Amino acid sequence: MCSHYQTLKDAELLLKKFGAPNKPAGGKYDMWPRYPGVFIRRPVEHDAGDEAVVGRWGLISAMTKADGLDKAGKLSTVNARSETAAKSYTFGNAWRRAQHCIIPADGIFEPDWRPVYEGRSKTSVPTRFTRADGAPLGIAGLWDRWRDAAGQLQESYTMLTINADEDPLFQNYHQAGKEKRMVVILPEGAYGEWLTAPADATRDFLVPFPADRLVATPMEK
């Protein structure tokens, strides 16, 4: 699971790699839950191309009623389990409507607990994952819109995750005895197909990124 990542500082790289016509104003670089971040989508209103949008990292469903917004805003919705998202109240609307998005990232962070278990550290070690070739990560996600208390439409998004118990790289992270999870990192050649794929094809894209094409770097706190 991912609760911390870094988006792209380089606007030109964002536009070049992800095909959006412009970089929107706003959004943060170091991303934590509920921060505003950039994501890429194919707008439902037209088929003219993709767009970069700033939205809340932590999806709030369009199905959320006004009296449920406070509760929805407190839930941990930055990651969506691909196995259950289709039937989830929070993620189901976006899944059924195939509201796919790509979250551009310089790197994602996961905790390494092995030094704690081996007695080398008292706390887990934040580890940054990047592509070995230096290209940005394109993380598969879902987006949705909700109406705030004033009736204004707001954007939000989540990252899709899959099981990583057998993954050569991500199986080594998170706490022992707990299921290992990883976000879905898309190959560049699949970006366009992912954004336009129908709901019944969503699971075709939810596969592990090759471990030998990623680099894990322990970070000093």
pLDDT digits (tens, 9 = 90+) for 126-169: 899 999 999 999 999 999 999 998 889 999 999 999 999 999 99
Q: Of 112, 110, 138, nearest to 209 (Cα)?
A: 138
Residue 63 token pair: 């199905």
At residue 159, the pLDDT reads 98
pLDDT tens-place string over residues 26-55:
899 999 999 999 999 988 666 667 899 999
Q: Which has more pLDDT, 102 or 125? A: 102
Structural contact between residues 40 and 51, judged by C-beta atoms closer than 8 angstroms: yes
Structural contact between residues 109 and 129, judged by C-beta atoms closer than 8 angstroms: yes
Rounded average pLDDT over 199-206: 98
Rounded average pLDDT over 104-114: 91
At residue 48, the pLDDT reads 61
Rounded average pLDDT over 86-113: 95
Query: Helix count (H) and strand count (E) of the chain?
Result: 5, 12
Strand order in the sheet with 5-6: 30-31, 5-6, 107-112, 125-131, 214-218
Q: In the chain, what are the domains?
A: 5-109+132-213 (3.90.1680.10)
Q: Which has more pLDDT, 98 or 22? A: 98
Neighbours of 134 (CB within 10 A): 8
Residue at token pair 């439409």: 153
Per the DSSP assignment, residues forming a β-bridge with 105 are 137
How much of the chain is in helix, strand and coil states, percent to nearest 5?
25, 30, 45
pLDDT at 78 over 90: yes
pLDDT tens-place string over residues 56-77:
999 999 999 888 899 998 999 9
For residues 171 and 112, give the distance between their C-alpha atoms in angstroms, rounded to a whole number: 10
Q: How many CA atoms lie within 13 A of 174 on its CB side?
A: 16
pLDDT at 121 over 80: no
pLDDT at 174 over 90: no
pLDDT at 185 over 90: yes
pLDDT > 70 in the chain, percent? 95
